[in-house]
Amino acid sequence: MALIPCQVLRVAILLSYLSVLCHYKAIEMPAHQTYGGSWKFLTFIDLVIQAVFFGICVLSDLSCLLTKGSDNQEQERQLKKLISLRDWMMAVLAFPVGVFVVTMFWVLYMYDRELVYPKLLDNFIPPWLNHGMHTTVLPFILIEMRTTHHQYPSRNCGIATVCTFSICYILCNAFVDAFQHSVSI
């Protein structure tokens, strides 16, 4: 029962995301100590989304390998649910949020670096970690799209979920900003 290359790729991608997350959380930055911490940054949320997504991919690969040749209907049903979750997450969170983060970060970085990544951050975040957060997301998600067939949800479901995620992110950040402002007064 040998692993095929796309399964090995998913494990490697998951491990790289876990490594980036661990290194990022280990950094002593003033922004991590404020209300909301890392969760107020879309880049961090995207890293968590990508790690969870590739974790689900690895889990579905392992489940598929372990249930191969089994006639258990319950296992088949559970595997189909896991694959549906993987496909849904790819379509409504991992791909749109990942592409948005990479595109917006580098466009704003080229326009005016200080808007998204002030030079002060170079003292805290090494260049390899910056690329792990803002560059590798796009090639990894494109590799996943190329190596795996996904069943996408309806357009209305996808758009509704992405809009809900976006509104929740904006409202949470507005709440954090308002709370910090009221505490500082």
Q: CA–CA separation, 141 vs 71, rounded Å?
A: 33
Query: Taking the complete model, does pTM exceed 0.85, yes or no?
Result: yes
Range of the domain at 59: 5-25+37-154
pLDDT digits (tens, 9 = 90+) for 128-152: 999 999 999 999 999 999 999 999 9
In a domain, 75, yes or no: yes
Query: In terms of pLDDT, which residue wins out, 180 or 76?
Result: 76
Indicate if the pLDDT at residue 2 is higher than 60: no
pLDDT digits (tens, 9 = 90+) for 47-57: 999 999 999 99
Residue 137, classified by CB atoms within 10 Å of its CB into exposed (0-12), middle (13-18) or buried (19+), is buried
Element (H, E) at 99: helix 95-111
In a domain, 180, yes or no: no
Indicate if the pLDDT at residue 72 is higher than 70: yes
Percent pLDDT > 70 in the chain is 95
- Residue found by looking up tokens 């992405």 in the block: 162
